[in-house]
Amino acid sequence: MSGAIKLADFYSAIEDTARPLDVPCSRDQVWPILTAFGDGEDALSQSVIAFRVATDIGHDGELDCRFTVPKNVDPYDSALAKGLIEKTDHPVGALLPDVQKLCPIDTYAIDFGVVGGFKKIYAFFPPDDLQDLSELAGIPSMPRGLGEHLGLSDRYGLSNKTGCVAIDYPGRTVNIYYGETFPDGIEREVILSLLRETGQQAPSEQMLRFAQAAFGIYITLSWDSPKIKRVCFAAMTPDPMRLPIPLDPKIEGFVRHMQDTGTEGKFVCGVASSPRGEYYKLQAYYQWRPWMVDLMAHPASV
């Protein structure tokens, strides 16, 4: 979908997308989130909008929605003011303001569950001014695990910079996205060694095949432990139905629905590895903007 979307249309799109997943969609739950960030339709006119599902039990019965918000809107202040999150003394509440003091922010985005409500804020840094991981690790409110794993960049050919930080408020975790992509994919031994060093479960063969074609990697950290909770590999794909991964009938229905709405082949699939196992995430873009090409498009695809 290429034109600007109205709030009522956006809500209808959420209802329609939730239907093949059998996810209940309540206007009372969703509408306050849609109207909390900016001035109605103007806030969505240039937004990138995406829907996401995942195959793990924890995401069963949920549809996640993401959209970018105007640069002049502070999403954390807006979420507090609208009662979407509560003020807290936990470091999760201080992290975005601390990042704002240290780093230039190019774009914000928010993430919410149709059932679970408000979840995340994404802070994207300018593409020509990615931020040093060592600088971010020095922020007092940042999980200490970032500082303890800075050596991963050198050992596995990862970037020592990041293009995005995502803060999960109810989950109290942070995603750190390594800033440079992999034009030729990722070597099998690099994946195995990275997962082994970070304490993740041994990957399946299908996960290894998928991860080798990934364009990007991100890690999930928490304040509870310096250990890395998850490592995720992401790749673009024009047709998720052809991926060598298990998709249940509801997710297949989600894919067909998004293809019918004109996603133009813009799907991103990720595989997340954790100490408890692996699972897949599938994101489809409902409203796309040309600047996303610089951020997401990549020759390595599944």
Q: Is residue 200 part of a domain?
A: yes
Q: Which two tokens stand for residue 259?
A: 């293809």
**pLDDT tens profile 93-141:** 999 999 999 999 999 999 999 999 999 999 999 989 999 999 999 999 9
Mean pLDDT of 1-23: 84
User: Per the domain annotation, does 2 fall within a domain?
Assistant: no
For residue 141, report the phi and psi dihedrals to the nearest 5 degrees: -85, -5
Residue 34 lies in a domain: yes
H or E stretch at 231: strand 230-237
> Six-digit token pair at 118?
């408000």
pLDDT tens digits, 76-86: 999 999 999 99
Check whether 237 has a pLDDT greater than 50: yes
- Residue-wise pLDDT tens digits, 188-236: 999 999 999 999 999 999 899 889 988 889 999 999 999 999 999 998 8
Domain that holds residue 68: 7-296
Q: What is the DSSP string of 18-76?
A: HGGGT----HHHHHHHHTSSSSTHHHHTT--EEEEEE-SGGGTT--EEEEEE-TT--HH
The pLDDT value given to residue 41? 58
Phi-psi map region of 79: left, alpha, beta (phi>0 left; psi -120 to 50 alpha):
alpha
Q: Tally the domains of the chain.
A: 1
- Report how far apart, in Å, the C-alpha atoms of 71 and of each of 4, 105, 140 are: 17, 8, 25
Q: What is the pTM of this model?
A: 0.93
Q: What percent of the chain lies above the pLDDT cut of 90? A: 67
Residue 73 located in a structural domain: yes
Residue 258 CA neighbour count, 13 Å, CB half: 32
Mean pLDDT of 135-155: 96
> How far is it, in rounded angstroms, from Cα 50 to Cα 121?
14
Q: Is residue 275 part of a domain?
A: yes
Structural Rg of the chain based on CA atoms: 18
Mean pLDDT of the chain: 89
What is the b/e burial string over 242-257, where b = at least 16 CB atoms within 10 angstroms of the residue's CB?
A: ebebebeeebeebbeb
Asked if the structure places residue 301 within a domain, the reply is no
Amino acid letter, 254: F
The pLDDT value given to residue 264: 59
**Cα 105 to Cα 92: distance, rounded to the nearest angstrom:** 18
The reply to whether 302 falls in a domain is: no
